[in-house]
Amino acid sequence: MDVYSFLEAVRKKAPVVHHLTNWVTIYDCAQVVKSFGASPVMAHAPEESAEMSGLASALVLNIGTLTADFIESMKIAARAANNKGIPVVLDVCGAGATPFRDMKSAELLDNARIGIIKGNSSEIARILGLDVRTRGVDAEHVGHDLRDIARDLAGKRDCTVVITGKEDIVADIKGTYIIRNGHEMMSHVVGTGCMAASVIGTFAGASPQDITAAAAAGLCCYEIAAELAVKTAKGPASFKENLFDRIFSLTRDEIASLQKVGR
Amino acid sequence: MDVYSFLEAVRKKAPVVHHLTNWVTIYDCAQVVKSFGASPVMAHAPEESAEMSGLASALVLNIGTLTADFIESMKIAARAANNKGIPVVLDVCGAGATPFRDMKSAELLDNARIGIIKGNSSEIARILGLDVRTRGVDAEHVGHDLRDIARDLAGKRDCTVVITGKEDIVADIKGTYIIRNGHEMMSHVVGTGCMAASVIGTFAGASPQDITAAAAAGLCCYEIAAELAVKTAKGPASFKENLFDRIFSLTRDEIASLQKVGR
Amino acid sequence: MDVYSFLEAVRKKAPVVHHLTNWVTIYDCAQVVKSFGASPVMAHAPEESAEMSGLASALVLNIGTLTADFIESMKIAARAANNKGIPVVLDVCGAGATPFRDMKSAELLDNARIGIIKGNSSEIARILGLDVRTRGVDAEHVGHDLRDIARDLAGKRDCTVVITGKEDIVADIKGTYIIRNGHEMMSHVVGTGCMAASVIGTFAGASPQDITAAAAAGLCCYEIAAELAVKTAKGPASFKENLFDRIFSLTRDEIASLQKVGR
């Protein structure tokens, strides 16, 4: 897989990536998009969320700090994105923690065409309908093969499914990518999961002709930057600073020598 | 006091710490919990705030950017926390700045059992009913002995009271801890006060059998990390980065050699 | 222009700067105010936004993540600021991206006396009524002389107008300052524009007798710190960390040797 070509597309096109996301990690979601060379915008008022999606190249939804009203704005934005034909990413953050999250996730999936569903293992398992719980926003062990779960949900919803974890799984009905980049330090930083969804949206927005490959390439780039970042990190905060810096300066050579994407 | 044993409990149990907190420092509140080895979750929708508290080990409330609706969600979460028997921390951020904050703080205290009330000197004095004002969210001089104020409020509300400042006071009806760790640089970083409340919630969630001692131990660990962080800091932002890194790697020896907790 | 004297006023008076701002960069807006030695406060509930403005020395409004309700709170705060006679800064973030933003910006301008309107080139051009669009929150090319646009809007609204960009323009009906400090790296960091509005509010709050000169001096100090910060930066995140550190320690000599303010 020519991962670098997807990064090049991001840097050349500088897609506008519209977000309706959570209030905890909203800054980092914006900064990760900007660090890759794209243009983030966050606008959630129902009066304008459709128009903002209309000038964007991708839409990222994240239910981390959802409210009922906020979900309604997401539906408006997602339908506008569908009308324009741009990719929609849904991060089902915290699905499986409360029935409210499960219900609202289902509403979003039923009300618009979501191109990419992204979550950790227990979140995605829950969206598939399995009887698992999420511990707040941290993954719980799921007693099933994760590749099967991803493929099953991809088939059921006719979309791309991303499960992040020690290895990332990116599946659609045609096939599955496995990304083995990244570093354990990412799990000690709040927002690395949310940022992954923003990265996926950014890459899908720049390469809408193959959003599954774009999602895999985006995760690979992000996690290669994480591997480079951890080398000089003293803890989670210096790691995060390095991560943004490394994303900003990521080169073709770094990607070529470190990428671990299989099928 | 065996401060390290309280940190060990946090790292072993990795408590889920539910927050309904302010939008300014919400990321840092989450990251400080995670850096200590615990699991933060932020969920404020009234439809799920009770259930999220139900899967947590502690609840942290912070009125920094309160609205009337948000306070109603806090009441729901606090009552759920009371039903489950987990500690509830209330950061009365900005109490004394406006009558609205004073009124909503009183409502929270009257509607649920708050185990730990935390604030700076003028905030806590105001909660006790003294005629002082807070300058936005920064402490004003209070013309009374702060230990007396803490003890008076602890007796009046039958809870633990924490006053942060140059020396921190942690008082309940049985006694008072004084923590003399920390560094003046903390006052130049937005959110160090909010993070203190999250730290207290984290430690109380891991050691609910003695939340007063847990609060004192948590503040001590946090402020020792600050002392270590300032050594290589060039200003408030590098200090904050170092602070998270130092919390993450904090050792028994560092605590033993630096802790200044008296009674 | 004696730029340093304006910084000295900020550090001596430590003005309280009240914000109703966007949720993406709210932390950085608070931290930039604090790093300059002033006291930020963020309070948006309609029940208290007037009182909080009443104890402040300046009010900063930013429509980045506006909602209809939030704009109503801004109107209340702005009228209270007018009654107290403190400067009001309005960052018309994203004006020109959607009709909703244009309409709400006009409402704010019509409902209170806004002392300083701040934006990038396409945002300010749109507020003047020109037929331009903003690409999300990033500036688009405007086919007019920016100094003319700033002066025209300053005359039309009888206020100070700030256009940020490669060179910053600060204009009122009496004259125009041009600030040529800063660095291209600022454009790779989310929130540098929002922080500029907070800096302007901070300096105007400390020197209300000449808010145009104060805005120019504040931008100059902020951007000199950026020039110093970039020297040891490896990318956008280390740059931002350095920026806060450099603001905190900014000296009279650094300003004297680097300031590029013309008329």
Interface of A with C in 16-55 (CB under 8 A): 16, 18, 23, 26-27, 30-31, 34-35, 39-45, 47-48, 51-52, 55
Average pLDDT, chain C: 96
CA–CA distance, A165 with C127 (Å, rounded to integer): 46
pLDDT value of position B137: 73
pTM over the 0.90 mark:
yes
CA distance C226 to chain B (A): 14
B138: which chain C residues are within 8 Å (Cβ-Cβ)?
Answer: 16, 39
pLDDT at res. C144: 81
| Beta-carbon separation of B99 and C244 below 8 A | no
Please give the biggest Cα pair distance in chain B: 47
Of A45, A55, A242, Cβ closest to residue C68: A45
- Residue A136: pLDDT band by 50, 70, 90 thresholds? confident
Q: What does the pLDDT look like over B42-96, one tens digit per residue?
A: 999 999 999 999 999 999 999 999 999 999 999 999 999 999 999 999 999 999 9
Confidence grade of residue B171 (pLDDT, cut at 50, 70, 90): very high
Which letter does DSSP use for residue C208 in this model? G
Nearest to B48 among A23, A101, A191 (CB): A101
How big is the A-C interface in CB pairs under 8 Å?
95
Residue A26 has its nearest CB partner, among C24, C97, C137, at C24
Nearest C-alpha in A relative to B31? A190
Q: For position C135, what pLDDT does the model report?
A: 80
pLDDT at C140 over 90: no
List all residues 6 or more positions away from C143 whose beta carbon is below 8 Å from its beta carbon.
none
Q: Looking at the predicted structure, is the pLDDT value of residue B212 above 80? A: yes
The pLDDT > 90 percentage for chain C reads 95
Nearest to C188 among A16, A243, A248 (CB): A248
Interface touch B68/C47, C-beta < 8 Å: yes
CA dist list (Å): C247 to C6, C166, C170: 14, 20, 21
- pLDDT grade, residue C101 (50/70/90)? very high
- Which residues in chain B have their CB less than 8 angstroms from residue A237's CB? 31, 35, 240-245
Tally of CB atoms within 10 A around B254: 17
Task: List pLDDT tens digits, range C51-95.
Answer: 999 999 999 999 999 999 999 999 999 999 999 999 999 999 999
Domains, chain A = 3-262 (3.40.1190.20)
Average pLDDT of chain B to the nearest whole number? 96
**What is the predicted pLDDT for the residue at B225?**
98
User: What is the C-alpha to C-alpha distance for residues B18 and B198, in angstroms, rounded to an integer?
Assistant: 9
pLDDT at C141: 76
Interface of A with B in 49-88 (CB under 8 A): 64-68
Q: Where are the beta strands (DSSP E) in chain C?
A: 16-20, 39-42, 58-62, 88-91, 116-119, 160-163, 168-172, 175-179, 261-262
Question: C243 — contact with chain A (CB < 8 Å)?
Answer: no
| Residue A41 with chain C: CB contacts under 8 Å | 94, 97, 136-137
pLDDT value of position A233: 98
Chain B positions touching C243 (Cβ under 8 A) are 237
How does DSSP classify residue A93? T
A241 touches chain C (CB under 8 A): yes
Check residues B263 and A33 and name the one with the higher pLDDT: A33
Confidence at residue C136, expressed as pLDDT on a 0 to 100 scale:
77
With a CB cutoff of 8 Å and minimum separation 6, the contacts of A215 are: A116, A118, A160, A162, A170, A177, A200, A203, A204
**pLDDT computed for residue C134 by the predictor:** 82
pLDDT at B138: 76
Euclidean distance between CA atoms A204 and A212, whole angstroms: 8
